[in-house]
Amino acid sequence: MSSLSSSFVQIKHEDLRFYENCGGGSFGSVYRAHWISQDKEVAVKKLLKIETEAEILSSLSHKNIIQFYGAVLESPNYGIVTEYAGGGSLYEYLSSEQSEEMDMEQIMTWAMEIAKGMHYLHSEAPVKVIHRDLKSRNVVLTTDKVLKICDFGASKFQSHTTHMTVVGTFPWMAPEVIQSLPVSETCDTYSYGVVLWEMLTREVPFKGFEGLQVAWLVVEKQERLTIPTSCPPSFADLMKKCWQAEPKERPVFKQVLGTLETMSKDSRLPEQCNSFLHNKDQWRCEIDATLERLRRLERDLSSKEKELEERELRLRLWEERLMERSNFFSPIASGISSESFFRSQSQESNSAKISCLIRTLSNGERERERGNYEQCGFPAANCHVVLGPVSQKHRNKLIV
């Protein structure tokens, strides 16, 4: 363990009385429990082993970050013990009927609290942290409705971060995280924009789409969540800035806080925002229309992939037939390798030998299979060469 680990309060597993499962976190399940010796209600995230999450949490202290109490270091009962947020997750709240009571003041308060917690992680914590899995499920409410950011299982110390593996949840993930490219703290800004969209719409991001479908839409098609036309312009502008494809063009959280502060002073915003929140039926169809368009786009991709698979099968059959016929020729019988034979014959009269080989197939096969090669980017003049599987480069040509 590192020097940070030495600051852990080591909690005995027998000192915890477990109750119900509160949900799943990164790499573990979270339970409500009673810390017996301290007579305190806590949340315990059970883990297979203790890694960097405990180190990260032990270095943090902020009112909008879940409070770390200690860790259970007894194999196999590893766990992280934190404060228990009795209000559940923000995701659960937004999915409940209670969320219908939300107004502009509530959204602004929560938007500020999340931004303050993220600004602390990026700029004020003893060791700067990139969360990498900011989403409504990883923001919890205390009983008095204060928001706290939790679940640092996917997080990294910023100074240790260059390239990242793919972690997180696709609808909230920035394009560079999906692609395992080098990341900066603004990958969390992208996720923040999605959480803001959730609070405004009370909808599930990319509802009905699987993770890899979302990844394809976001990275390859540059798609983003639908911002209804009646959304207050200042909120719409902030979300669009958070979702810029280029990380350097996204605001850092100090800028986000400045923008929210300016918005809070806009006398027109409360009426705009409350009208938007309470007239969901008027703009919900815009989100539905976008989801249907994306489903059609994904179906088109699936159709193209099926066509590609069929084409690759035809190419493999063609290659097998070529190999069978090449084995029938005299070079094998005379002890000369096929490779040497084709190389020497190509130097003398390449086109004649190609014609001879191709004529062993029917005219219909020849034209059809020549077309297959040309469509895949192979010159027809080289069809005597036995090729391997279609490369990704050629696959991409077909998909496009």
- Selection from 299, 295, 356, 366 nearest residue 329 by Cα: 356
Shared-domain flag, residues 134 and 257? yes
Residue 89, in any domain of the structure: yes
Shared-domain flag, residues 148 and 241? yes
Shared-domain flag, residues 270 and 313? no
Shared-domain flag, residues 100 and 27? no
Which residue among 84, 119, 151 closes a domain?
Answer: 84
Which residue among 26, 54, 84 closes a domain?
Answer: 84
Shared-domain flag, residues 374 and 236? no
Q: What is the pLDDT of residue 331?
A: 54
Residue 297, in any domain of the structure: no
280-326 helix and 211-219 helix, angle to the nearest 10 degrees: 90
What are the CA-CA distances from residue 376 to residues 319, 327, 366, 390 (Å)?
A: 14, 25, 16, 8
Please provide residue 356's backbone torsions phi and psi, each rounded to the nearest 5 degrees: -60, -45
Residue 325, in any domain of the structure: yes
Shared-domain flag, residues 49 and 65? yes
Residue 293, in any domain of the structure: no
Shared-domain flag, residues 59 and 196? no
Q: What is the pLDDT of residue 315?
A: 81
3-state SS of the chain is: CCCHHHHCCECCHHHEEEEEEEEEECCEEEEEEEEHHHCEEEEEEEECCCCHHHHHHHCCCCCCECCEEEEECCCCCEEEEEECCCCCEHHHHHCCHHHHHCCHHHHHHHHHHHHHHHHHHHHHCCCCEECCCCCHHHEEECCCCCEEECCCCCCEEHHHCCECCCCCCHHHCCHHHHCCCECCCHHHHHHHHHHHHHHHHCCCCCCCCCHHHHHHHHHCCCCCCCCCCCCCHHHHHHHHHHCCCCHHHCCCHHHHHHHHHHHHCCCCHHHHHHHHHCCHHHHHHHHHHHHHHHHHHHHHHHHHHHHHHHHHHHHHHHHHHHHHHHCCCHHHHCCCCHHHHHHHHHHHHHHHHHHHHHCCCCHHHHHHHHHHHHHCCCCHHHCCCCCCCCCHHHHHHHHC
CATH of the domain at 29: 3.30.200.20
Cis omega (within 30 of 0) for bond into 76: yes
Q: What is the pLDDT of residue 322?
A: 81
Domain of residue 61, residue span: 1-84
Other C-beta atoms within 10 Å of 142: how many? 15
- Selection from 123, 61, 94 nearest residue 257 by Cα: 123
Shared-domain flag, residues 115 and 216? yes
Count structural domains, the chain: 3
Residue 189, in any domain of the structure: yes
What are the CA-CA distances from residue 294 to residues 182, 231, 300 (Å)?
A: 28, 21, 10
Shared-domain flag, residues 172 and 274? yes
- Selection from 218, 199, 197 nearest residue 209 by Cα: 218
Residue 262, in any domain of the structure: yes
Q: What is the pLDDT of residue 61?
A: 95
Buried b (16+ CB within 10 A) or exposed e, 22-61: bbebbbbebbbbbbeeeeeebbbbbbeebebbbbbbbebe
Residue 4, in any domain of the structure: yes
Encode the chain (400 residues) as per-residue pLDDT tens digits. Answer: 444 445 679 999 999 999 999 876 656 789 999 999 999 999 999 998 887 889 899 999 999 999 999 999 988 899 999 999 999 999 999 999 999 999 999 999 999 999 999 999 999 999 899 999 999 999 999 999 999 999 988 888 776 554 555 566 899 999 999 998 989 999 999 999 999 999 999 999 999 998 888 998 999 999 999 999 999 999 999 999 999 999 999 999 999 999 999 999 999 999 999 999 999 988 999 999 999 999 888 776 666 666 677 777 778 888 888 887 777 655 554 555 545 544 554 444 444 443 443 333 334 444 444 444 444 444 443 343 333 344 444 434 333 3
Shared-domain flag, residues 126 and 243? yes
253-264 helix and 104-119 helix, angle to the nearest 10 degrees: 160
Other C-beta atoms within 10 Å of 376: how many? 19
Shared-domain flag, residues 128 and 221? yes
CATH of the domain at 147: 1.10.510.10
Shared-domain flag, residues 47 and 165? no
Q: What is the pLDDT of residue 303?
A: 64
Residue 299, in any domain of the structure: no
Q: What is the pLDDT of residue 154?
A: 84
Q: Do the Cβ atoms of 117 and 191 come closer than 8 Å?
A: no
Catalogue the active-site residues.
133
- Selection from 226, 223, 218, 222 nearest residue 201 by Cα: 226
Q: What is the pLDDT of residue 108?
A: 97
Q: What is the pLDDT of residue 103?
A: 94
Sign of CA dihedral 111, 112, 113, 115: positive
